[in-house]
Amino acid sequence: MKVREMALPRGDLVTRRLLETRRQFRQLWFKVWSGGFIIVLAGFALTWFLLEPAPPRTIVMAAGSTDGAYYGFARQYGKLLAHHGITLEIRSTAGSLENYQLLASDPDVHLAMVQGGTAPEATLRSNQVEAIASIYFEPVWIFYRSNEPYHDLRRLQNTIIAIGKNGSGTQSIAKILLAENGINLSDRSKIVPVGGKEAVRQLIKGQVDAAIFVISPTSPIIRNLLQEGQVRLMSLDRSAAYPHRHPFLCRVTLERGVLDLKNDLPRQDVQLIAPAANLVAAPDLHDSLVPLLLKVVSAVHTRGNTLVQAGQFPSPKLVEFPLNESARIYFESGPPFLQ
């Protein structure tokens, strides 16, 4: 700039003023640009300190046994989450009680599927679990060996009953229902801690007189037992009473023929009671993952099944823990715009 000024005539005042104006403009532009850069830098720093870290790319979920419904549904969730770049690592467990233990003791486990009504009292009081949604009904199926129909759990007095594996949600609810109906749980010769396929085997062979299952209506176990001529499915005359005593239970009707129209299964309407399977999480589950999880769960469960109409699940109802805030917003307003 100085070289150009020396080359100009001394009397050219207009040219000098133009050069000075350009110099001042450049200085002003530098100040504005540098000030904007400082503001942007400050914004990044504020974001770094105040906002949550990026969501993890892997979620660990406690499910049930590998041949159970929880594990099967978890695998469906995993396939859908993979499309969004999220890996779902599934832990095989004995059932709901172990799932609660893992949520409390294993910092890597942030998500679990559990059966309604199985939460230990200490867990309910701990404020260390949040509800994401209830996802489907799991009826209580009571199969028994008899030549005559039973319509009341009290008829199982003095019989040998398979109540589900230790640590399972089935065993937890079976003990509640049997005790309320006066069944002696202290007689270990009458209470057998087996479930699943082993309980089916013992029931068919006559090693137990009755077996209690808490599983989805679509389970092959239910279809096989309904076709078994030596056992019956109990229809509860007092099914309406149980939800009044236990809010996590619902009364449901299994309509005649709904499982298999060709073979007419079941062969009459059956009155059942059912808790809802729940998706629960540790409080430190990243908030941005919750809407995505609910989107995936909706894709799997919103179609309905033999007991509920389409769209009933997932639901913020029939949960035992405070609803996660992101889940509450999802149910009230739908998926976030920027999902």
How many structural domains is the chain composed of? 2
Higher pLDDT, residue 93 or 34: 93
Are 183 and 264 found together in one domain?
A: yes
* Alpha helices (H) in 106-219, listed in sequence order: 121-126, 169-180, 196-205
- Percent residues over pLDDT 90 in the chain: 69
Pairwise CA distance, residues 50 & 309, whole Å: 44
Pairwise CA distance, residues 324 & 165, whole Å: 30
In a domain, 62, yes or no: yes
pLDDT tier at 17, thresholds 50, 70, 90: low
Range of the domain at 220: 143-273
Are 155 and 252 found together in one domain?
A: yes
Q: Can you give the pLDDT at residue 111?
A: 98
Are 159 and 81 found together in one domain?
A: no
Rounded to the nearest 5 degrees, what angle is found at the Cα of 235, between the Cα atoms of 231 and 241?
A: 145
CATH of the domain at 119: 3.40.190.10
Task: Summarize the confidence of residues 6-11 as an average pLDDT.
Answer: 49
In a domain, 241, yes or no: yes
Across the chain, what does the average pLDDT equal?
87
Please write the tens of the pLDDT for every residue from 101-157.
999 999 999 999 999 999 999 999 998 999 999 999 999 999 999 999 999 999 999
8-state DSSP, 265: B
Final residue in a domain of this structure, among 252, 273, 294: 273
Pairwise CA distance, residues 219 & 212, whole Å: 14
In a domain, 156, yes or no: yes
Are 237 and 171 found together in one domain?
A: yes
* Pairing verdict, β 161-162 and 87-91: unpaired
Are 155 and 264 found together in one domain?
A: yes
Final residue in a domain of this structure, among 230, 249, 273: 273
Handedness of CA 96, 157, 230, 308 (dihedral sign): negative
pLDDT tier at 302, thresholds 50, 70, 90: confident
Handedness of CA 132, 77, 103, 139 (dihedral sign): positive
Pairwise CA distance, residues 218 & 222, whole Å: 7
In a domain, 208, yes or no: yes
Query: For the chain, what's the residue count?
Result: 339
Give pTM, 2 decimals.
0.76
- Please state, as a whole number, how many other Cβ atoms lie within 10 Å of the Cβ of residue 54: 8
Residue matched to tokens 């079941």: 266
Final residue in a domain of this structure, among 273, 291, 310: 273
Are 128 and 157 found together in one domain?
A: no
Of the candidates 215, 233, 121, 111, the residue with the CA atom closest to the CA atom of residue 176: 121
Mapped onto helix, strand or coil, the DSSP state of residue 249 is strand
Pairwise CA distance, residues 58 & 43, whole Å: 29
Are 211 and 298 found together in one domain?
A: no
In a domain, 35, yes or no: no
Q: With a cut of 90, say whether residue 60 has pLDDT above it.
A: yes
Task: Summarize the confidence of residues 7-11 as an average pLDDT.
Answer: 49
Are 69 and 189 found together in one domain?
A: no
8-state DSSP, 112: E
In a domain, 46, yes or no: no
In a domain, 329, yes or no: yes
Are 237 and 326 found together in one domain?
A: no
Are 147 and 259 found together in one domain?
A: yes
In a domain, 338, yes or no: no
Are 168 and 261 found together in one domain?
A: yes
Are 241 and 202 found together in one domain?
A: yes
Is cis: bond before 266, omega within 30 of 0?
A: yes
